[in-house]
Structure formats: structure tokens, C-alpha cells
Chains A and B, each alone.
Chain A
Amino acid sequence: MNLRRLLSLALLLFEASLGLTQSGYPAKDIPAILKKDADMVVRRTFYTLNVEDESLATLKVHEVRTILNSRGKEHRRLVVSYDDEFHKTGKIEGNLYDAEGKLLRQLKKKEIKDVSTTQSGVGDSRAKVAELTHTQYPYTVEYIYDLTLKGIFYFPSWVPQRGENMALEQGKLTVLYPDDQLRYKSLNGPGEPDITQGEGQYRYTWTLSQLPPVQWEPFSPSTVYPRVLLAPNAFEIAGYRGNAKDWQSFGKFIYELNQDRDQLPEALKQEVARLTADKTTPLEKIEALFRYMQENTRYVSVQLGIGGWQSFRPEYVYENGYGDCKALSNYMKAMLNEVGIPSYQALVYAGTNKPDIYADFPGNQFNHVILAVPQATDTLWLECTSSLNPVGYLGDFTENRHVLLLTPEGGKLVRTPSRRPVENRQIRQAEVFLEANGNARVLVSTLSTGYQQEALRQVAKVATQSEQEDWLKDRIDLGNFEINSFSFEEVDTLSVPAYRLNYELAVNKWASVSGPRLFMGLHQIEQSHFVPPDIDHRMQDVEVSYPYWDRDSVTFHLPANMRLEALPETPISLENPFATYEAHLQPMEDGTLIYTRDIKFYHKRLGPETYQGFREFFQKVTKADQLLVVLSGKS
């Protein structure tokens, strides 16, 4: 036996003994503090991102999860996202262990499913999905997989603890980077990395351990979970080179990726000339072209490969009559350019009630594109995928946040407009004609503006009449009623978009009858019983990101032969740093009753200590909304 063989045998034995001592993660090793309120414990989550150069990186993942009970069973699943061009999966291995850490079985190749994850339209996002299942809790799944990034535009974030009822025992993120200029942002705990220099590479390491579950908190401004964001400096994707070191460079990359993709086809040039011939001001021209686009295009997403970031040319939109957010905003920009109005595409992280991007961390944090048209004093914003928005109105999907303007000089971080309660109003007037049997005819007229008119506009313009009626029925909180008539009306005389909804109801038992008396609630048509949950130790700030102002005024016409037996005490005034409420009831000389209710929420962010008071405000409102009057027969 020669030495080499002996050595390799020794190595083999060494490895074998390692294999033996390397346990299958017995569940009893989990500290009790991690198991409290947990359905799953991440035992190990080791991510190693090896950035070879500007266009190539590999990610190696080793993750071990112990599923404590059936509520945690969804975590047994592995989902590795990839696509046809830029993210390739490599090996995928899995092991299943019982509570004691005994290996039950290994994942077989044929168990790995390959599925499309494209949500809508045409795309190339896919995933490999595997499940190792056991039904005696606790049990442990272990997954090891590789992903290759062929072409770099952004790096994946590291989120070792991703949700509620989930604890983290040990997490480690290692980034091997060619120089010492790796850009990162650490949130909620991971802190600064440990940096060492190796063979031609720098090694950045973050570790986290022993994190008990964190519960989600309503009205939180952002995530409560630990996270490390990573971003490249110089990068290359699909042959395009860029840099994300600052917003200016990153914006320049996207700008150049789309440069010279804005020539209009000849026929469209003529169309543009025709549409703007009699228009004199820039605003008139913008309106005419925006309306033309709204009428002639629709949103259809086709995003393959670099098409995820590069716009189709105007010609494509012109010929097909459709496009995605990039294509449509580029199309609009090109038309404006044709009439000498400069405009810029702007990248945005869109969504109602979404947290803002990290403005101090340049890189790809976006999912949507809108268009900014600079005006003499202000900027006009266009949502080019909407066939409904009036010109210059973005709505709660993209307002009140940072966006990256793409200009020839590069990216510029700016903010979209934000709204005050007075712009998002709902002014409702109702007349209730009550009969002695408790039934009522109810006339309602509601003027909604700003964010509050968005749903109305959608329903009014898009839905069929029977869909409109169903929508209205869902919105009204009365038990037994019929809609006699309804109508929607666009109001364009205000400085904000507005819609009016009128309807008439025949309500069975608007007031409940008991013997000779009627009991009538004052605030019945659309109620909210929402009260945020009680939270023991609020950690996060409290944020109201949707400012609004509702005012109801209801006139009750009472049956002739009934008298008011009892009235609740009003006014009721409630105040809170975030909101105010006032309800008032006034019997009039003509025998009618007038009820008014006013509630206003401000856009505000305050410390966690304000949560309890915020919650109590909702409780008091709910109670105040339940005021009753009692009527009885005149005798």
C-alpha cells in the first residue's frame, strides 16, 4: 500500500467520521427561545455569492429548515427561481431527517418539477420546485443548490428570516468579490460584514444567529426582518456594460440601453402632426397625445431576456396597439419629442401601500416605468399603462415615493407628488325616507376625489352595468335591500380627478321594529368595523400612507305618526395625532333629523408608542358609528 492510497483512505475515513458527527440537525438542539411562537426554524442558511467578474457570478445555497408543526409545512418546499437567459440552475440536492436527525431519504431527481412562474403575459421566469415531506413533526429538510448569474444587473438580496412564526438559528452570507468596493446595505440586524483578503478576492461575511420569530405589525412603514441588500458597481448584461455605483450612472445605463429606440414610424409622425395641429399650449398637446395613446393602446406584457429592461420601439406599439410599461412610456415620450416637448422615463417601485425604495442605495429596486414631463413650474406625470387616468394623475400606485428619472445626463432621483386629505375626499349626502314599518327609501350621492375616486372610475369606465350593480351591492353594508337605480358621473371641474356616484335604494328594515318602536342606526350604508389588533410591544413606527377625508351628511325624514323617543348624545369628537372624527345629530324644526360625520386621516409617521392610541381611536370610532335613535308611535 503506498502512501498516496493510505492518505486518501485516511481522508476517506476522516470524511466518513465527519459524516457521522455531522448530525442531521436533531430538533432537540433548537433552543427553547427560538421555538416559542415558531412553526419553523431555519437551522442553517448559508449563502455564498462568488462574483467572478462584471458579468458572471455563482450563488451557492445551503439551507436547513426544521418544520415544527403542520402550520410550518409549506416551508418544506424548495423553490429555485431562474429564467432562460440570466439565471441558470445547477445542482439541486435535498435530504429529509426525522426529529432525531436520522436521514430518512434523499431528494430524487425526478421529484424536481420545472414550472413556469410567469404571472401574466409572456415571460421567461421559471422555477425548479421540490418537496420533501414528512408527517411526524418535528422534521428537518436540507437543500443545497447552485445558481449561476450569467450577466449581472443586480444581485439577489439576503433575507435569512422571511416571515412570521419563523426563527433563525444560524445564518451566514459570504460574498467573494474581486475588490474591496462591494456595495451593500444592511437592515434590521446583520450589521457590518467581516472583511478579509484572500487569493485575488475579498471575502465579506455577515453572520446572524439565534433570532426568535418576529411578528408582522400593521401600519408598519417597512420590513421588520433582517436583510442585506447587495449591488454591483460596474456590471455587464447581454453585452451591455453599466455601473450602479450611483444613481446617475445607474440611470445612464438604463437610458443608454433604450437610446435610439424612439424613432416614430412615418405614419405615426403624420398622426401626431394631425392631432396637435390646432393645439397651441404644451399642455393641450400633451393631453391630445396622451388621450390618443389611451384610446389606441392597451397593456400587454411581453418580456423575454433583456426585454425585461429594454423597451420595444414605438413602431412595435404602433403596429400592435399594445405594449408594457416600458414600451408605452417610450412610445409616449417619442410622440412628445416629435412635437418638441421633452420628457423622461422614470423607474419606480409601484404598488399601493408599498414602502419607498432605499434612496441611499443605488441599484435596481424598481418594477415599473412612468413618464415625467417637465413643465414651466412643475412636473407633469403620466401613467402610460392606464387607459383611465386623467392626464397628469398617477394615483396611489406610484405617488408619494422616490423615482429615478432617466435623462441623457444620467439618473436623477426625484419624488412623485404626495396628496393631502383634502385631495382624497369622499363627500356623501343621503336622504332617508323612513316608513313606520322600518323600511326606507334611501337616496345617496357621493362625490369622490383623488385616491378615493380610483375604484369608482375603474368600475364606471370598465365594467358592464350588471358588474357595476354587483360592485355597488358589495360596497353597501345593509342586509336586505334592492338598488332601484344608480349612475356614475365624471366630474372634471375640480383640480383633482373626481367621480360622483348616485344611487337609490329600497331598504327592507332600515330600522328594526320591536312592538311599537323603531330602532334606527345613524351610520349604516358603508360601515367599517376595522380595529387594528392589540400588540404587546410595538417595535415599528406607525405610518398612515393613505391620507383621506370623508364627510357624510344624512337627512332622515321620519314617519308622520312616530315621535323621537330617544336621541344619543352628540357631538362626539375624537382626536388623535393621525386622525380626527366628529359626529353630530341635529333634530330640525321641520321634523327631520340631520346627522353629520366627519373623519380625516393625515399622512404621517410617528413612533411605536403612538400605536396604542391609534388603535383606541379606531375602537372609539367603531363605537361612535353604532349610535341609535329610538322612535315610537305617537299616542
Chain B
Amino acid sequence: MKWYISAFWAGIYLLMTPAQAQSEWVSLFNLPPINADGLKINQFGSFDDAEAIILQEGGVQSFFVGPLGNYQGNLFRIVRIKILKESGLNQAEVEIPYYGEERIMSIQGASYRLQNDQVVVAELKNNQIFIEEANKDVHIIKFSIPQVQVGSIIEYSYSYQTPYIHSPQPWYFQHNIPTLSSEFVILPHEHLEFTYLYLGDMQERVREVGEYHWILNDIPPLKEEAFAPNIDDFRQRMIMQLYGYVGSIGYQSVAQDWDELSIDLWNADYLGKPLRKSYKDLDALAAKLCQGIPDPKARMVAIYDYVRQHILWNRRRGISTDQKLDDIFNARQGSSAEIHLLLIYLLNAAGLEAAPLLVSTRDHGAVIQALPIYQQFNQLLACVEVGEELYVLNATDPSRPFNYLEDTDLNYRGWFMRKKDPVWLIMPLPGLSYVQRFVQITLSPEGEIQATVQEKLKGYPAFEARKAIEAMGENTYLQKRTPSHSPTFTVSDAKIMLHESDEDRLTISYALQTQDYLSILNDNLFLSPWLHFEEKEHPFSAKERTYPVDFQYPQQHVLTISLALPEGYEFETLPQQVREVLPGDASRLQVLAQQVGNLAQIRYELLLLDPQIQPEAYPAFKALYDQWLSIQGSRLVLKKKAE
């Protein structure tokens, strides 16, 4: 979905083609000539370890009226990159995707290298530039800068022309390699008005060197971290949004608040209109599904269950459709938007109040509430009002019950665009997800272990398990879940209980037997009660974090051991009791141990109530996690009772 905006009397504006202005734009950036001295510089302080470094990057966003009389945006970009390592050579393979009627123009590129103290320039030729039609919507410009070696500087520039000017491409100051200088200029058009917004935590370092002219220096690269939210949320960038233009009937405001945007979306062919049409087959289906169900919530669940089990998600997210709802139904598959528009229609047909809820998933980034831009979202869900209760539904996974969303949907806020009184919703955090393991161990004096294991899963771990069972079948799943390939343990009686009435739970049980897991030395038995559950990896080995740790949902991990002592043995020592709580009760680690008669009970628990841990709180959290892992390595010592 894209908008065009037609200018008033196209002829009266100067038709300035971007190519003509290109050299003028380059002059805005003060790019020094590339000479032998410049090429010899290989030291970049804290960025020395980078595979490549952006020495300078400049962008000019301008607007003009195209030959057809509609406004066009033009982003001229020039970038100069120093290649420092062999892995940085991939910077010379450039791919620029573009959509629909957009065009990439005036591509220029060259490499500079030193040979016998002379600068050798190799220019990109036109016949080295290729266009690939990736699919019907997307083309990709591909080119390889010639003659590039470690030590080379490469430079290329192009103009990205777009007729979709409501929200032009953001300017990214930050990349996956370090940037010494990134500079962005907007040339305002007298008949177009935009709002600008800087996003990222380096705003105070951005220098405004002229009107609509910004420079940011020494920008570190973005870095992936384990359990991080979408790092693109943290990327330094400038975004813009059109709010008014002069068109065929004079000045028109397109500035919208969220409510106005909702009205537009309800009138749009790609979103609201399909919901307002009438489809007899779908009406009949809704009636059939709700037959004999008076309770509105039960109706909602019946329709949700039908949709998740009968319409296959094609793995694409979306916020719009170009299909009719009955065609989506007949095709039995669709994007998330298509599935949920169909769901909303069926819910409405069954007399329920349902409307789209727009969210930006975690992997897509946070929504900036200050900017009422539809394209900030990437996911359309269904939201239902039943009396005072609100339910958000995501029907893309047949193994997930109605009261759980896909974990990536849980991105703080969603825009509930109900017809009357649209509103921001805080996305409901699900209840506690857990993996609780109950292990009963019987030891024989000869060192044989018999154990029964019960693993109770609730919430997301249960869905993951269901999905895996669906994907690989029960037997294969049980083989992977249990230590069936272990040379130490023999597994028997492995079973899965699916709790059909309670889909967010799942129980796995099995028996373990082994002769040679524990060590007997002299009069002592040594046993690691964690059996095969010990975690091998430490996801938080890094000393510090740049971005928060994000577990997505509250969760609990419990291992409860109950151990029957063999005849004639006693504990030398029971495990130490531990209780560590992080501030605000965000995370907790606890070990409890007690002995009653010849039975010992030990309970290990890690509870993560707040799924997000900020970088400031990370050291304490890491220490907690270190302890959690070291506890898992410790052993119980049993000794023979004195006769």
C-alpha cells in the first residue's frame, strides 16, 4: 500500500532532475580528495578492530515534481568506506532493494588503492550494474566495486527516487560497521511540509551545522547480543513525515493524529473496506460455528479455534491485504493481516465487537507514539471487546490457545483501531510461563539409580513443545527431549500428556535408570542431582551489555529432587540454602533443602518476573546467573553410617 500525492499544475514548478544537482550535493559534504596520504591511514583509534569503517557518509533528501505531476522524493547518498580486514571486502558488494515505482538513478562507484605510492583508481562501469527482479514487488540493484583490497577506500553514490513521500526513508547515521562521520541534509520544498524526529540515544552529540543539516561523528557499530530486543530500535536515525502540501485545491494538511489515521484506515481498500463488505459464505460459517453457543466469550473462542486450525499462516506478517476475505478463506492461507481480518469479520458476523489492533513486533522495533505513521506497524491482530474485557487474538499458530499471543507481539503497545474511540493498549503480559521438573531418585547401595522424571510445562515452553511435537512427531520429540542417546542413562516409559482441555500446559514423564552415573569412593557416594538437566551454555558470559536483556515473558525454572537414601547411608552435608533476590523482585534464585527420615528434598528455582533487564542492572543479574550455573555443578555427598 502506497500513496501518491499529485502536485498542483505541475508545469509551474521547475523540473529539476536529481542527476543535475548531484555534483552540487557532493560539494555540501566537504569530501576531501582521496590521495596517497589518506590511503596510508590505517589507524582509527577505538575502531581499529573493525573489518571496515565508514569514513564519511552524506545524504541529501530533496523533493521535486515528476513528469506526471506528482511529487517525488529523492535521496542522494554518498558513502566512503575504508576496508581494514579481509572480511570487510564484502562492503564492496552492494545491493540496494527498491519497491514498486521507485527507481535507483545515477549510480557511481570507484575504488582507490595504493600501488608503488601512487593512487590507482578503478571506476565502476555501467555494464557492471545489474538489476534483479526479486519478485513482483521488489527489485534489487547489484554491483561489485572493482579492484578492492584490504587497505582500499571505496566510494559510491546513488539517488533513490520514490513517489511515496508520506514517510520518506529514514536517514541511518549508524551501521554495522563504525562510522566516522555521517551527515544528512534536507532541502525543503516550498510546497511540502514535513516533521522530523531524531531517534537514538546520541541526540546531544548531533551537531546542527545549518538549517536542516546535521552531522554525527564517531558512531560505534550496532552489535548483536544474546537475548537482546531488536537492536534496530537503538539505531541512530532521523525520520520524517509529511504533514502538509500544496495540491490541486491549494494547501492540504495530511497531518493526522492517530484517530484521524484510524478513520483513513477504515476507509482504505487494503484494510477497512474488506471488513465492511458482506460475504454470504462467511456469514453462514460464523452462524454455523456459533450455533448453540449463547455466551459471547465462548463464541469468540469457537471462531478463534476454527480460524487457527483451518487457515494456514504463510509466515508473512502484514498490515494490509489486496485480497477479498472470501478468497483468503478459499485459499486457506494468508498473512497475519489476512488471517486476522478474516477472523475479525467472522467475529463481527457472530455479533461480537472486534476490530484490528496494530502492533510492531519485537523484531520490527518499537512504535514511536509521537508519529502517527501507519508503516510503523508490521502486524495486524484481532481485538475483541466482550463486556468489560478486552481480548487480543493471534490465530497464526494452530497450537496456541486464544489467551496467548505470539511472543514477538508482546512489544509494549498496540493501537486498537476500534471504530468508535480508538485507543492505545498496553499489550497484556501473559501469566507466568514455566518449566517445572520433579525428579524422584532411588539409590541402591551398589550405586544404581532409578529415577522418575516429570516435566511440567506451562505457557510458551508448552507451545514450543507442542510445535516441535507437531513438526517431528511424538517419538522423535521424546528421543530429543530425554537423554535417549546418552551412553549413561536408559530411558523408559516416556510419555507426553497434552491436557486437551488446558492447551497451555503439557507434561512429559519418563523413567531413567543407570548403573554408572554416580561415583562410589571408599565409604562415600557422590551424586550430581541435576542428572542431564545441567545447562551447558552460559548466555551471559559478557561482562557488560550495551542493550537490555529481554526474556520476552515472565518465566520460572524449577527442579525439585526427592531422594530416597539407600539403606545404611546418610547425608554428609545437605546443599546450602540460597536465596538471592534482585531489586524490585525482578529476578530470584532460591535453593531449599530438607531431610525427613531417609528422604531428602531439594528445590532449585530461578524466577524471572521482569522480562527486561536494563544494562545498569546487568552486572547483578549476571552474578545471579553465574551462581545459578555453579549450583548446577555441585554434588551431593552421602556417606555410610557408622555401624
Contact = CB atoms under 8 A, between A and B. Distances in A.
Contacts of B122: 319-321
Contact of A519 (B310, B314, B526, B538): B526
A135 B311 contact: yes
Given A479-B629, A512-B634, A133 B331 contact: yes
A461 B86 contact: yes
Interface in A485-537: 508-509, 512-515, 517, 519, 531, 533-534
B634 A462 contact: no
Contacts of B312: 73, 133, 135
Interface string B78-104: 000000011101001100000000000
A620 B626 contact: no
A533 B333 CA distance: 36
Nearest to B124: A320
B471 interface: yes
B585 to A, nearest CB: 25
Contacts of B30: none
Interface stretch (B146-154, B201-209, B501-509): B146-154
B635 interface: yes
A122 interface: yes
A622 B543 CA distance: 32
Contacts, number: 148
A620 B516 CA distance: 12
Contacts of A136: 310
Nearest to A37: B473
Given A462-B87, A480-B626, A71 B473 contact: yes
Interface in A593-631: 619-620, 622-623, 626, 628, 630
A322 interface: yes
B85 A464 contact: yes
B635 A116 contact: no
Given A73-B312, A113-B136, A566 B635 contact: no
A139 to B, nearest CB: 9
A194 B144 CA distance: 52
A133 B333 contact: yes
Given A133-B312, A135-B311, A464-B49, A321 B332 contact: no
A169 B636 CA distance: 58
Given A70-B470, A565-B521, A630-B519, A479 B485 contact: no
B290 to A, nearest CB: 20
Interface residues of A, number: 60
Given A71-B470, A133-B312, A515-B572, A480 B541 contact: yes
A155 interface: no
Given A113-B136, A135-B332, A298 B148 contact: yes
B310 A135 contact: yes
Interface residues of B, number: 65
Contacts of B420: none
A475 interface: no
A131 B333 contact: yes
Contacts of A515: 572-573, 637
Interface stretch (A145-153, A236-244, A465-473, A553-561): A465-473
Contacts of A321: 111, 122, 146-149
B522 A322 contact: no
Interface string A356-379: 000000000000000000000000
Interface string A438-470: 000000000000000000000001111111000
B488 interface: yes
B536 interface: yes
Contact of B130 (A114, A122, A481): A122
Interface in B2-58: 49-51
Given A566-B522, A619-B487, 10 more contacts: A111-B331, A122-B130, A320-B122, A387-B86, A508-B626, A509-B630, A509-B633, A517-B635, A623-B488, A626-B488
23 contacts: A73-B312, A111-B331, A114-B135, A116-B132, A135-B311, A296-B149, A298-B92, A321-B111, A322-B146, A387-B86, A461-B86, A464-B87, A465-B49, A466-B49, A479-B629, A479-B630, A480-B541, A514-B526, A519-B635, A531-B487, A565-B522, A566-B522, A623-B488
Interface of B: 49-51, 85-87, 89, 92-93, 111, 122, 128, 130, 132-136, 142, 144, 146-149, 309-312, 314, 330-333, 398, 470-473, 479, 485-488, 516, 519, 521-522, 526, 528, 535-538, 541, 543, 572-573, 626, 629-630, 633-637
